[in-house]
Chain A
Amino acid sequence: MPDGTSATGEPLVRIRGAAKRFGALTVFENVDLDVHESEVVVLIGPSGAGKSTLLRCVNGLERLDGGTIDIGGERLGYRESALNRMRRHVGMVFQNFNLFPHMTVLGNVTCAPAKVARRPYREVEEEARGLLDKVGLADKCDVYPSSLSGGQRQRVAIARALAMHPRLMLFDEPTSALDPELVGEVLDVMRALAAEGMTMMIVTHEMRFARRVADRVVLVADGGIAEQGPPETVLDAPRTARARDFLRAVLEH
């Protein structure tokens, strides 16, 4: 599906004619984008192009000014209760981790499933320990986030989001705040997640990661989607001048 909109079956995320403005600034308009079950979509583009904003619109942290977003066939609205229900199924990982500093690592991971989804704590805790083991932090359950490295914090943040059993994971530059030597451990976790079939939308500047993991790369620029397609096409043989300019700028350093 090179244009990203034609496919068999209902997409998990269907964005149609999306527009977002901040006052006089139009960040993007007429954005159409589908993300299918188990697909990994990587969003790239110049700074300020609106990648974060688009991602944040998908879980309602930002409100669209036009167009629609459907997740799992359900129209995204802005009624508090509907929004809260939808967000349980959409995990988000932030550039700055945003772990809760007053909770232990285990507390961070168990908090939402226990107190939002109200699942029995025993079951939640057992699963949280499993998730922390999966991201390589089984021995860090009882420490506070302040004692962790950036890479460890981001892996906890991923485990925290996974604890809600999301159908979709959003990542906004998950490795941009990390020292270079810590990037790999986070990308490894994400790659494993992709291999398990998790549906993911990822904003990143890690081009090598995009090439290896993305099913589709979407270039966000000039107020919309400038080009999209499989990584081999968008990254190696871009069709648009916009994409060539951007890639040249990125690859220069």
Chain B
Amino acid sequence: MEWFSDFVDTAPTFLQALWITLQLALWSIVLAAVLGGVLAFLRLSRFQAVRMLAAGYISLIRGTPLVTQLFIIYFGLASIITIEAFWAGVIGLTAHNAAYVAEIYRSGIQSVPTGQIEAGRSLGMSKWTTLRLVISPQALRTVLPSLGNQFIIAVKDTSVAAFITVAELFRTAQIVAAEKFRPLEFYVIVGVYYLVIVLLLSGAVRALEQRLGRYNV
């Protein structure tokens, strides 16, 4: 039962790292949910220059590997500004996830039929009120599965922060595996930690879907 004792022995170390992973995930998901909204808003602007700027940012992010983005922020910008590794990770992951979240929001907004918007406007709602009361709730319901999926990817992607020295789960696994010369055991163990987070998150998303799914169109 080496596996089990490996797991128990390293649990304190891994739980500490788990806490850092969770903080990394939470910060970058919450910030990306907000920044993604701003980006989606710009992406649907009536000014072409603004639309193109947002679209350019999104394709830049989607067209380059996350690890590159993190390296640019942490190592690349080191000569200009030094950012603590954790916050460099938060910034990089936020910038990354926001691009994907923006596209998800945009598809959700565009999935709401124009008749809904016209109904809102014809009752005297402003554009903003229509967005708040009519479009967003319906868009959110539509994109909740994709949004949940993106957040799950975001949790797993925090592992990339290992390569800019953030002491989160994956980096901890690397260190422990090297110390004890047992890579198989500790990479499997760290995988289980991620799996548990993802399963809990998926459950939460499903519960939310059910709550919002009381109406069907």
Interface residues in B107-130 by Cβ distance below 8 A to A read 113, 115-116, 118-127, 129
Residues in A with CB closer than 8 Å to B122 are: 59, 61, 87, 90-92, 161
CB of A176 within 8 Å of the partner chain: no
- Considering only CB atoms, which chain B residue lies closest to A108 in the complex? B119
- CB contact between A84 and one of B115, B125, B133 (< 8 Å): that residue: B125
A96 touching B115, Cβ below 8 Å: yes
CB of B214 within 8 Å of the partner chain: yes
B124 touching A117, Cβ below 8 Å: yes
Provide the bound-state CA to CA distance between A111 and B129, in Å. Answer: 11
Provide the bound-state CA to CA distance between A87 and B123, in Å. Answer: 6
- CB contact between A116 and one of B123, B127, B138, B141 (< 8 Å): that residue: B123
A94 touching B137, Cβ below 8 Å: no
- Considering only CB atoms, which chain A residue lies closest to B116 in the complex? A98
A87-B123, A111-B123, A164-B123 as given contacts; A144 in contact with B214, CB under 8 Å: yes
Annotate A47-89 by CB proximity to B: 1 below 8 A, 0 otherwise.
0000000000001010000000000000000001100110110
Interface residues in B76-106 by Cβ distance below 8 A to A read none
Annotate A87-125 by CB proximity to B: 1 below 8 A, 0 otherwise.
110111010101111100000000110011100000000
CB of A26 within 8 Å of the partner chain: no
Provide the bound-state CA to CA distance between A102 and B214, in Å. Answer: 8
A101-B215, A111-B133 as given contacts; A94 in contact with B125, CB under 8 Å: no
Interface residues in B, total, Cβ within 8 A: 23
CB of B217 within 8 Å of the partner chain: yes
CB of B134 within 8 Å of the partner chain: yes
What distance in Å separates the Cβ of A140 from its nearest Cβ neighbour in chain B?
14
A161 touching B123, Cβ below 8 Å: yes
CB of A146 within 8 Å of the partner chain: yes
CB of A129 within 8 Å of the partner chain: no
CB of A36 within 8 Å of the partner chain: no
What distance in Å separates the Cβ of A141 from its nearest Cβ neighbour in chain B?
15
Provide the bound-state CA to CA distance between A102 and B121, in Å. Answer: 17
Annotate B124-162 by CB proximity to A: 1 below 8 A, 0 otherwise.
111101000110011001000000000000000000000
CB of B64 within 8 Å of the partner chain: no
Interface residues in A, total, Cβ within 8 A: 29
A84-B124, A84-B125 as given contacts; A146 in contact with B115, CB under 8 Å: no
CB of B5 within 8 Å of the partner chain: no
- Considering only CB atoms, which chain A residue lies closest to B127 in the complex? A80
B119 touching A100, Cβ below 8 Å: yes
Which among B127, B133, B138 has the highest number of chain A CB atoms within 10 Å? B133
Residues in B with CB closer than 8 Å to A115 are: 125, 129, 133
A160 touching B115, Cβ below 8 Å: no
- CB contact between A94 and one of B118, B127, B133 (< 8 Å): that residue: B118
A101-B215, A146-B215, A146-B216 as given contacts; A116 in contact with B125, CB under 8 Å: yes
- Considering only CB atoms, which chain A residue lies closest to B140 in the complex? A102
Provide the bound-state CA to CA distance between A161 and B122, in Å. Answer: 9
A164 touching B119, Cβ below 8 Å: no
Residues in A with CB closer than 8 Å to B119 are: 92, 94, 98-100
What distance in Å separates the Cβ of B192 from its nearest Cβ neighbour in chain A?
39
A94-B115, A102-B137 as given contacts; A87 in contact with B124, CB under 8 Å: yes
- Considering only CB atoms, which chain A residue lies closest to B123 in the complex? A112
Residues in B with CB closer than 8 Å to A102 are: 137-138, 141, 215
| Besides A91-B122, A98-B115, A146-B217, 4 other A-B contacts (C-beta < 8 A) | A84-B126, A88-B124, A100-B138, A164-B124
